[in-house]
Structure 1
């Protein structure tokens, strides 16, 4: 039977979410990839164990993560029941609804029907009475934001989630729903945007609204699908995500377009005594609004490497200026949400 490492809280950094009382581990584990029905369950189990032993307390899911959709939640639920149940109160478990999950008009977007049904299904797959955070995964252009907000508020009152959040909302959309939640006294504590060195729009759009509302952030795609690592410095590996023609999020042309920039950033990271991935994670965490950054893992050792980023979170003014100069020469890169 799994026994957690007794030193698990010694090295991890925990940051408060905005004005709330909730803290997240600065590194969170995202289960978007590698936790589906097509992935080895024993490896998933080993990744969860290593994450918890490293002090990672935030586990990020969504109803449609897989493949197949729903299988990441089901697998996480199996691991929770078998190994992690004694540690449930030490974990922040989050899920979301808003991308297509089942056919027909109710398995997608942000209606009350879809949000409530999705949350109930997620809890059943997870084998939990409640999640700690439930998100609207994306804004619904055909549903009034009040309806989505009221559905999330209902989940709190039903005891199915402790807090609510949003993901992929613009600054204006964030401000609109934040006002509704404030009036309802809903515990709205978190926004989950795409944020990394190549996707910085949220710095001027979303983060100012988070500051006004006292809301924190957890960033996804912190390593830009692997671009902000040393994986592609010497070409595209055959087993990489970029090489797989089925990947809608990363293509060889995107890798080639960033090679010079990545090499320059890698040189700077080495001067800081970090890998590029470690520097990229630390750079995200420099923002006061960012309480946590999500990382994915296909094996436990990757989590150990990512947590090393916490050993050097400070940047000099010269280092930040150098990063800005390198990125300005590259220009902005952006592609679809998850």
Structure 2
């Protein structure tokens, strides 16, 4: 898909106060800071998307101090198209801001046919990074992740490939995603021995999906590894959008990637409704409270959000203004969550 030049947006001028609304945190024990809110390009940037809308989302994000854009080789649809379209937008709007941006990509899921287009072999990861750079028109990415654990490839090979990408100048930092606590500790040790620190872990984490609290966050804290949580709103479940069920015109009703309707059982809806009441008493939307709940833990460096319209970013960013919870609020929320 080409950007519609028959109805072009005006030339982009970044907001001069773009760093005044956002807060930033050091990523583990590194010298790199991430915005507390980062933008994921999983949806709304494929060839089925409105690229003028995509430009508006990226522009608004940067104006709000969100300087971290997160992609992966298989984001689309089709695979690769999110990176291609980001590259087009980057060339039009962000080339002059490259050194202000933190751009990440990943590889680990099926990408092309045959035995070399999936998982975690050195051949796949090196080739995939080269392809991602070409699609985005970049010389390097700031962070390159292994997107998921590979049960069949030795961890030494996968981490060795990440180390190689740094030494080749194709990535400044490396990370992993969805690794359990034990394998994260092993990966960190292997990379440390190679001289390339494990910068960051990207786990799925929300108020309703707390697996990282069973050991992973402890490992990250002990090893000095940062973390960036994805799906913090549980595909929209932790917003006020679905309090009365799935609206017929919502993305969730049309595309199962966003939210499995089976997740919205009466018990879950009641839980979300009770959380919403607490959020309102805090002066926050449910989405803001869900983001703040993750950011209250200093081991969480950033929370990764995806939006379908630029205005949603303003609501998300407002969450960083209040990430403190009273003891009573914590007790009530844990009681609702069954923690």
TM-score (norm 2): 0.95
SS at match of 1:324: helix
Q: Distance in 2 between the 1:252 and 1:241 partners?
A: 11
* Contact 1:134 1:152 survives alignment (8 Å): yes
Q: What's the CA shift string for 1:8-47, capped at 9, x where partnerless?
A: 0011010111100000000000001111010011110010
How many residue pairs match? The answer is 328
Q: What's the CA shift string for 1:110-162, capped at 9, x where partnerless?
A: 00000000000000001000000000000111100000000000000000000
- Residue of structure 1 aligned with 2:173, choices 148, 163, 184: 163
* Contact 1:26 1:293 survives alignment (8 Å): yes
Q: Distance in 1 between the 2:209 and 2:239 partners?
A: 15
SS at match of 2:265: helix
* Contact 1:242 1:255 survives alignment (8 Å): no
Q: Distance in 2 between the 1:242 and 1:254 partners?
A: 11
Q: What's the CA shift string for 1:157-198, capped at 9, x where partnerless?
A: 000000000001000110111110111110321000000001
* Contact 1:218 1:290 survives alignment (8 Å): yes
* Contact 2:188 2:197 survives alignment (8 Å): no
Q: Distance in 1 between the 2:249 and 2:222 partners?
A: 44
Q: Distance in 2 between the 1:87 and 1:99 partners?
A: 30
Partner residue, 2:220? 210
SS at match of 2:117: coil
Q: What's the CA shift string for 1:276-332, capped at 9, x where partnerless?
A: 00000000111111110011011100101111111211111111111100000xx8x
SS at match of 1:224: coil
Q: Distance in 1 between the 2:155 and 2:251 partners?
A: 35
Partner residue, 1:280? 290
* Contact 2:19 2:64 survives alignment (8 Å): yes
Aligned residue runs from structure 1 range 225-240, under 5 A: 225-240=235-250
Q: CA deviation at 1:248?
A: 4.6
1:297 matched to 2:307? The reply is: yes
* Contact 2:145 2:176 survives alignment (8 Å): yes
- Residue of structure 1 aligned with 2:262, choices 237, 244, 253: 253
Gaps of at least 5 residues in structure 2 are 1-10
TM-score (norm 1): 0.95
1:22 matched to 2:32? The reply is: yes
Q: Distance in 1 between the 2:248 and 2:43 partners?
A: 18
Q: CA deviation at 1:68?
A: 0.6
Q: CA deviation at 1:211?
A: 1.3
- Residue of structure 1 aligned with 2:47, choices 37, 42, 63: 37
Q: Distance in 2 between the 1:58 and 1:249 partners?
A: 22
Q: Distance in 2 between the 1:158 and 1:251 partners?
A: 41
Q: What's the CA shift string for 1:180-225, capped at 9, x where partnerless?
A: 0111110321000000001111012211111121001000000000
1:194 matched to 2:204? The reply is: yes
* Contact 1:112 1:151 survives alignment (8 Å): yes
